[in-house]
Amino acid sequence: MQVASRMEAITPFYVMELLRRAKQLEAQGRNIVHMEIGEPDFATPQPIIDAGVAYIKSEHVKYTPAAGLPELRQKISDYYRQCYQLSVPIERLFITPGASGAFLLALGASLNPGDEVLLSDPCYPCNQNFIRLYDAKVKFVPVYADTAYQLSADLLRQHWQANTRATLIASPSNPTGTIIQATELKKCIDFVNEQQGLFFSDEIYHGLVYEQGVASALEFSDQVFVINSFSKYFGMTGWRVGWLIVPEEYIQAIEKLAQNIFISTPSHSQYAALAAETLQELEKRRQEFALKRDFFVCTFIALRV
């Protein structure tokens, strides 16, 4: 028996190794403060839990369409109209098993072996492995404070080569938390479109923004892939529900791939997510995160002094 050679390029997600060890210590009675994984320390809001439990009790937990529940897709479309003043046809919107599922669909339907994708360094560590899984290549571009630890149009221009096919920008960023300015995001998208390339926008931390607003890539082009999730702002990490918005010409390919890889996102999680759109509690939690952040920053500064 031999492991596939592509696995040599796949690195472990060390955060999960830390989480496993922390859970072991908890099982031994240790009191652990979890800061190893991007997960809200609040429980899932009760209305979401109630909706999921009610669906399970209905005894009709079945497959949904591969693209997701039509009513949940419509809810998300309405969310974009309300929050971004954007019209997103539900045909371009797919429900996925978390944001990771969205990445697998988007990259699988668009990248060919040998295609190069530009990533910021630092970035979310799993991104490189999603890309390498499809035998595409990763090129890391170091980013610094002068660009808020984000890629810029100038950096893309400097590093774009003949085999470069795409770039991925996360705003707010993981792990730095920084936001790319709307004007710069537009410049990046315009440049990639000029190269007839692919632009992937990781927007899973939208909603958890404070000092300034954050733009969606969809505000500047329909020729982008947008990845988002119910995990962070909506507090549904373990439910594994994300979504993907794709350019129109990729609709058929994405649905075909979803049918084969996932069949569908867990139905009880999708019905639970239907209760997540208009909860006032989510805004209260966002403010609580701000208080915790400010306390952490002030404590850090005090310790340094």
Tens-digit pLDDT profile for residues 104-122: 999 999 999 999 999 999 9
Residue 7 within any structural domain of the chain: no
Tell me the H-state helices in 233-275.
251-261, 267-273
Enumerate residues 6+ apart whose C-beta is below 8 A from 78. 277
Do strands 116-121 and 93-96 pair parallel, antiparallel, or not at all (unpaired)?
Answer: unpaired
Apex CA 196: angle with CA 258 and CA 91, to 5°?
35
- What are the backbone dihedrals phi and psi of residue 131, each rounded to the nearest 5 degrees, phi first? -70, -45
**Domain count along the chain:** 1
Please count the other Cβ atoms lying within 10 Å of the Cβ belonging to residue 202.
Answer: 25
Write out the residue range of the structural domain in which residue 89 sits: 46-281
Cα separation, 118 vs 123, in Å, equals 11
Do strands 116-121 and 164-170 pair parallel, antiparallel, or not at all (unpaired)?
Answer: parallel
- Element (H or E) spanning 229, and its range? strand 225-229
Q: What is the edge-to-edge ordering of all strands in the sheet holding 164-170?
A: 93-96, 242-245, 225-229, 198-202, 164-170, 116-121, 137-142
What b/e readout covers 253-280, taking b as 16+ CB neighbours within 10 angstroms?
ebbebbeeebebbbbbbbbbbbbbeebe
Residue 4 within any structural domain of the chain: no
Q: Comparing C-alpha atoms, which of 26, 96, 56, 47 is closest to residue 240?
A: 96
- What pLDDT shows up at residue 212? 77
Residue 29 within any structural domain of the chain: no
Query: In this structure, are residues 157 and 118 in contact, taking their beta carbons and an 8 Å threshold?
Result: no
Q: Comparing C-alpha atoms, which of 75, 117, 70, 121 is closest to residue 91?
A: 70
- What pLDDT shows up at residue 278? 59
SS3 93: strand
Tens-digit pLDDT profile for residues 222-246: 999 999 999 999 999 999 999 999 9
| Dihedral angle of Cα 61, 52, 50, 59, to the nearest 10 degrees | 10
Query: In this structure, are residues 131 and 102 in contact, taking their beta carbons and an 8 Å threshold?
Result: no
Residue 98 within any structural domain of the chain: yes
Residue 24 within any structural domain of the chain: no
For 57-194, list the strands marked E by DSSP.
Answer: 93-96, 116-121, 137-142, 164-170
Residue 96 within any structural domain of the chain: yes
Tokens 């295609």 appear where? 115
pLDDT, averaged per 10 consecutive residues of the chain (305 residues), comes to: 88 87 92 82 90 93 96 96 96 98 98 98 95 97 97 98 98 95 98 98 94 92 97 94 98 97 96 84 89 87 80
Residue 262 within any structural domain of the chain: yes
- What pLDDT shows up at residue 281? 84
- What pLDDT shows up at residue 211? 78
CATH number for the domain spanning 96: value is 3.40.640.10
Query: In this structure, are residues 182 and 219 in contact, taking their beta carbons and an 8 Å threshold?
Result: yes
SS3 277: coil
Cα separation, 74 vs 91, in Å, equals 10
Residue 74 within any structural domain of the chain: yes
- What pLDDT shows up at residue 11? 87
